[in-house]
Structures are given as C-alpha cells and as structure tokens.
Structure 1
Amino acid sequence: MTRSIDRDLKRFDEIVRGRIRKDLRKYVNHGEMLGRKGRETVSIPVPNIEIPHFRHGPKGSGGAGQGEGEVGQPIGKGQPDPNGKGEAGGEAGQHVREVEISIDELAQMLGNELELPRIEPKGKNTLRSLKDRYTTIGRVGPDSLRHFKRTFKEALKRQIGSGSYDPGAPMVIPVREDERFRSWKTEFEPQTNAAILYVMDVSGSMTDDQKEIVRTESFWIDTWLRSQYDGVERRYVVHDAVAHEVDEETFYRVRESGGTRISSAYTKAKSIIDRDFPPSDWNIYVFQFSDGDNWGEDNKECLRHLREELLPVCNLFCYGQVESPYGSGDFIRELRKIGDKFDNLVLSEIESKEGIYDSIKTFLGKGR
C-alpha cells in the first residue's frame, strides 16, 4: 500500500512539473505568478490537477444510451438545459494549487526550455574553500554519526569468532568495541564565484511598468546564474544624471526624475568592481536596463568606459532596452557601433512583459 501511494505521489509530481514546464513562458513573463517561499524554494500556483479515476453515479441513475439521439439532447442527470434555462449550479469551480519547487529545479527547467548552455567559469582554481567530506569510518564519534551496518557487522564477526553466535536463534548484540562511526576529512576544493551588477536608469522616463519588467527578468537571471556558480554576489546601481549604489529593495522601488547621464553609472560600476571583485578571481556580469534616453553629449563618454574599463573585465555585459512611452530609445544604436568588436556585449530590446522570455535567452544563450 505504501509503495502504491509513493508511486501515485511521484506520478502526480511529474504531472505538476510537466505543467510548469509547459507554461514556463507564462511564469517567466508574469512575475506576479511567482512567490518566493525561502532562499531555496519558490511557490508557483498551477491549475488543480487530479489523477484520473472512475467516479460512480447514484444507483439506478440509468445505463448507457441507445439510438442516434437529437442534437443538444441531455444524456444524463445534471446536464445543462440546451435552451440555457435552469437553476444556478452549486458545484465548486476549478481551484488553483500552490506547488513548492526548488530553485535548482526551476533553474534546470529554465535552462532546458531556453536551451541555455552550461557556463564555463574563469578563475576556477584561484578561490578555494574548506569542505568536510564523510569518507572514512572511525572507532569513536557521537551517537548521531554511528554507522549501523558497520556496527552490526563488527558485532556479528565478534560473536561468530567467539562461538557465541547461534544460527538457530540468531541474536546480535553490539557492545562498545563493535561501534563504528562515520568520520570526515577536511578538504580544499576549488570554488567559482560570480558577481552580478544590476544597473538601472531611474530617470523620469522610466515608469513602474518598466521597473516591473526589470525585477522579473532579474529574478530569472539570478536563478540561472546561481545554478552555475558556488557563490553569487549582487550589487545594485541606480542613476539619473548621477549614479548611486543602493540595496536591492531600493533598486526596485526608488523613483527619481531629471536628466540621464549613463556614463555616471559606468563609473560607479567600475569603482565597485575595483573595490570588491578582482577580475582574476571573479566571473563578472553586468545587466543594464534603460529606456535608451541619454544626454546626447554623454554617448561618446559611455562608449569609452565600455571599451576601456568594463568590457575587458566582464564575462558578459548585457544591455536591455525597455520600451517606454517617454524615452527616445537612441542609446542601443550607439552600442551597436561597438557590438561587432566585443562578443561579450549583448543587446536586447524588451517591448513588454511578453519579451522577457526571449530577452533572457538572448542574454544567457551563449554560455559565457
């Protein structure tokens, strides 16, 4: 019975995850459907799914129908009147079930659906961390690490050797000298880390809708990069004519106004990299979001920062231009002037929430 229940539960989980994979584009594009439950799991609402089974009607309710029948003729009790008449229904409608799924599993689904290649990190052997691995067996240790099978085998060997073991009435009683415990070794292992810098234009032309697109896309980018690296550090920069480093909550909620000078954000990003993330040890990713409206005389300075300071040290520099009713959208054309010279510069135009899915694939589809 237990095995049957476990088998049915496993099948149900496969059906639910299949539904999530099928509708992944919808979940990616509409961030409000994604609720974080903790650091390692998220909660996703999916339509209620039932395992198919036979449902018996009341006794004497009628058998199989015979004959051709008429168009629209009800075939059993409780069928709706074809003329639209009748009483209001009292049955429950379709419900939504919240399904918990791990961040790692979500990342795997994202990678499979978007066909994202595995990332080959740099600096693999420069950062090392200590790791305890249970690889040996010892004679001493706490009860919580007692190895039952090894303890039992030692007791059995002792009793057979001493002649006290009776095959007709087998009873094995371990004593203190029989006890064996799992033991560990502390090892050094290479560690790969990633630094993600999110840069967003918060001038007056960026609306709340554009910021929601940035928030949703950033979540999925985080989800994928966390699955590829041992440690991920994030930094956040907002700017209008002046750039500021802020925390995550401020990044998504701040509303400013005024002109736009994107070079100020590039200067701030470079100072953060110099301060916290030596390029020889860190895999550096920059994701910039703007509506493409920049002070015209600043464009030349922006390209200089990119060519000389940022693109040479970044695994990937991604610029996402979010369509706005107020922004000019000219900046992406400036970036295309140097796009052919740097293959780690990736550009994406995001017209609406429906474009998030394709934008993520554009950014991460080359596996850098």
Structure 2
Amino acid sequence: MKGGRRKNIDRLDGEKTYLRIEELFLHNSSESSYVSLQTLDELMARDNQREEDGFERKIKLGKIVRPGKNGSDEIIIVPSTIETKFYHDNAPNNEEEEFGGTGTEEEGSVIGEKSNNPKNEDGSGKGPGEGSEKGHDLNSDAYNLGKVLTEYFNLPRLKQKGIKKSISQYNYELTDLNKGFGQLIDKKQTLKRIIKTNILLNNIPEKTKPDLSSLIHSPQDTVYKILSREISYETEAIVFFVRDYSGSMQGSPSEAVLTQHLFLYSWLMYHYDKRVKTRFILHDTQAIEAEDFSTYYRSNVAGGTKIFPAFELVNSIIENEQLHLSKNIYVFYGSDGDDWKDNKNNLVGEIKKLSKYANRIGIFVARNSGNDNPTSLESTIEESNILSELNDILKITQINSRDFTESQIIESIKLFLRV
C-alpha cells in the first residue's frame, strides 16, 4: 500500500495522476500533526516583518485588568494576539484519536518547581481546578509586559542616576520536587502518585474506602523535596505612583491614569530587571499612602482637590527613609488637572524640592471635559516656568480622557522616559 501510494505521488509531475489533492494533503500531514509553539520574541519578530511587508500588525496589548489583593506583581490581560487562520481543505479532525503515552521520565528527574516567595503564589494549581487562576485569561507578569513595551513599542532606556553596584543574593529553600532522590519526602505528593498508580492497577474499588495497607508502592511514586537556589533581588528603583482620587476623577480620568501607571510600572520592572519597589499615594485635599495597588486602584472619595499635599508626602517619605542616597527615584502623577488656585506656590515649591531627589517626574493630565482649555494644574506649571528650569527631570503631557486610545498612552510614556 505504501509503495502504491508513493508511486502515485511521484506521478503527480507527469501527465496522468490517480491521487486526489485531498489524499495527498492527508498523507503529508499525518506524519507531522503537531502544535507549533513560538516564543514571544519570535512572534514579535514576525509582527515586525509583517509591518515591513506592508501589512497591519497583529499583536496588541488589549485591556489590562488590575492585580489582585495578594500583592503579586502578576497582571492579567485579555488575549489580543490573533493570527489569521486559513482553511484549505475539509480534512477531518483527528484530535480525538490521539492518546497520551507513558512518558519518558527518568528516575531523579525534576517534576515540579515552586518559588520560595509565597506571596507571589496565587494558588496551588495550574489553570482551572486547583488554585485561583482564571482558565481563559492570559497571565503575564509585569516583567514580560515591560519587555513588550520596550522592544515592541521601542520605548527608550533611561540612564541611571549615577553608577550603583548591583548585588545578587541567593536563598536556598526546599521548594522543588524531585522524583527518585532528595532531602525530604513530600508525603502529600507521594500519596497522590501512589493512589494514581493503584487506580490504574484497579487496586482501589470504586465507592469504597481504600485499605492503605494493601496499596502497591512503586519507587517511581516517591516524591522528594530538594533544595532550590533562587535569586533575591536588591531594589534599585523606587517608583511613586501618585493620583488624584477625588470625586471628579471617577470614570474615564481614573481609567486613563491607571492604565498609564500599569504600563510605566511594567517598563521599569523590565528595565531594572525586577529590582523595583513601588509606593502608592492618593490625594483629594489631603494625601495618604495606599497599602497596595489594589487599594490604589479601587479607592475614590467625593471631596475637593489639593495637589500639593501629594508631592509634600512624597518628599517627606524620601527624606525620612533617605531613599535618595542609594535608589533611583521616579514619580509619576496622574490627575484630571483640577486644583485649588490658592495652592500654586506650595505646589511649585514641592515639585522643585522633589526634583533634587528624582530621576524623573512625570505629570499626566487626563482632562475630564471636552474643551481644549488648559486646566488649573497645566496653568500653574506653565506660569511658574518650572518646565524650562527642570527640563531634564520634569515632563508633562495631557489627553482627553473621554476618548483616549492605547497609542496616546504609549506616546505619553515615551515623553516621560525621553532622555
């Protein structure tokens, strides 16, 4: 049969053929039926080539959802990388005919790795079922998103404020799982594998309590915990995210500001190789420090607006903790631009004071109204002439929050990070 089919395939180049195109397709595809996985770098390279060839890009960041309350740096984005699919035939789908094999694991092979930093763990499982992960969301930590922002959108790389020695420390914890040998038996995982083995051997009757003394225990079922070396990062950058959370900020102004702040945080995580610590400041007429991003994201009040207390609090934290002596400091402020007019001098004074400590101060105005008139904050900055005085440190940009786009957010970030 193979010989006859091969003969027909060879005769396709001649005048006569007895093999249909559908049969040729099935024959050629049956031996190479697999799923092709590509890295982020490969997908980005393809997308760049697609644009050079005159086609529209396919990779988009999509809508970013806020992190959870557990303090993890992981953020969730809706999948938005879509490759065009072409269908050339009506060949049947053979997915249901495929079965998993017995595997190729060797005794002593690593079967699981776990971070020794429990605060970054969202659950015990991978995907739906165990743990708290969402089955249909694409999980991407801030570092990977920052890589996309840097390489895909060609964001600049800031020069550090001075030269600082980077110190890497390592911790050793019994967090990895190993089959065959190790320092300590993981009783829970071992028992799970023993039960699976006995179920396959029909040694555990259905709907009855198993007799543990009769269970068969294979050496392959024993799971050990082994020492894992993981890097402990030294913080190199302190980022203050500051925003107005008064009544006028509800809705689109807050959404625009928080989207930009997520992008900025992700970029800095990538630029400083995860050595970033964040502080979150909220203000209406008074300023407070929020405990985490979740609180920073959700908080809102119905009061008035005074901007200078926010910068005053940032300066106080920097001075009291002496952060400026060893850390790169970035301050990104977001507001709809409303401010009490009698606070002009106080605000300008605090910004000038902050400029002595910070690598960069970025002010993002998400206008709440549809007109093009400057807001109170913009007028204060312009009249004080501090933009020209602090040209290397202070940057300000504005958008209309009612119809802002992703490209506008990216352009505002480029302005903030321009060297």
With normalisation by structure 1, the TM-score equals 0.62
State the Cα deviation string for residues 237-285 of structure 1 (Å, max 9, x = none).
Answer: 1111111112222222222233322111111111111233521211101
What is the aligned counterpart of 1:244 among 280, 288, 295? 288
State the Cα deviation string for residues 145-170 of structure 1 (Å, max 9, x = none).
Answer: 9xxxxxxxxxxxxxxxxxxxxxxxxx
- C-alpha change, 1:105 and 1:233, in structure 2 (3 Å) is closer
State whether structure 2 residue 298 is matched by structure 1 residue 253: yes
- C-alpha change, 1:362 and 1:144, in structure 2 (3 Å) is farther
- C-alpha change, 1:252 and 1:103, in structure 2 (3 Å) is closer
2-structure distance, mates of 1:200, 1:286: 11
2:389 is aligned to: 341
1:222 is aligned to: 265
The alpha-carbon deviation at position 101 of structure 1 amounts to 4.9
State the Cα deviation string for residues 300-340 of structure 1 (Å, max 9, x = none).
Answer: 11111111x20111000000011113997121232232101
1:317 is aligned to: 361
State whether structure 2 residue 231 is matched by structure 1 residue 231: no
1:10 is aligned to: 38
- C-alpha change, 1:275 and 1:16, in structure 2 (3 Å) is same
The alpha-carbon deviation at position 208 of structure 1 amounts to 2.2
State whether structure 2 residue 353 is matched by structure 1 residue 304: no
For 1:359, the aligned partner's letter is S
2:256 is aligned to: 213
State whether structure 2 residue 331 is matched by structure 1 residue 286: yes
Structure 1, gaps ≥5 residues long: 59-96, 134-141, 146-183
1:329 is aligned to: 375
2:104 is aligned to: none
The alpha-carbon deviation at position 10 of structure 1 amounts to 3.2
1:151 is aligned to: none
The alpha-carbon deviation at position 351 of structure 1 amounts to 1.3
2:237 is aligned to: 194
Q: What does 1:1-368 align with in structure 2 at a 5 Å threshold?
A: 8-10=36-38, 14=42, 22=57, 27=61, 30-31=63-64, 39=73, 42-46=76-80, 49=83, 52=86, 54-56=88-90, 99=138, 101=140, 103-122=142-161, 124-125=163-164, 128-131=167-170, 191=234, 193-229=236-272, 230-247=274-291, 248-307=293-352, 309-325=353-369, 329-336=375-382, 337-342=385-390, 343-352=392-401, 353-354=404-405, 355-366=408-419
- C-alpha change, 1:35 and 1:284, in structure 2 (3 Å) is closer
How many correspondences in the alignment?
278
Structure 2, gaps ≥5 residues long: 1-28, 52-56, 93-135, 173-179, 184-227
State the Cα deviation string for residues 72-121 of structure 1 (Å, max 9, x = none).
Answer: xxxxxxxxxxxxxxxxxxxxxxxxx8555564443222113332222332
Check whether the contact 2:338–2:376 (CA below 8 A) recurs between aligned residues. Answer: yes
Check whether the contact 1:323–1:350 (CA below 8 A) recurs between aligned residues. Answer: yes
Root-mean-square deviation (CA), in Å?
4.2
For 2:411, the aligned partner's letter is D
Helix, strand or coil at the partner of 1:115: coil
The alpha-carbon deviation at position 14 of structure 1 amounts to 4.3
With normalisation by structure 2, the TM-score equals 0.56
1-structure distance, mates of 2:387, 2:303: 29
Helix, strand or coil at the partner of 2:249: coil
Helix, strand or coil at the partner of 1:116: coil
State the Cα deviation string for residues 146-205 of structure 1 (Å, max 9, x = none).
Answer: xxxxxxxxxxxxxxxxxxxxxxxxxxxxxxxxxxxxxx9999x99561111111112222
Helix, strand or coil at the partner of 1:298: helix
Helix, strand or coil at the partner of 2:158: coil
2-structure distance, mates of 1:18, 1:186: 33
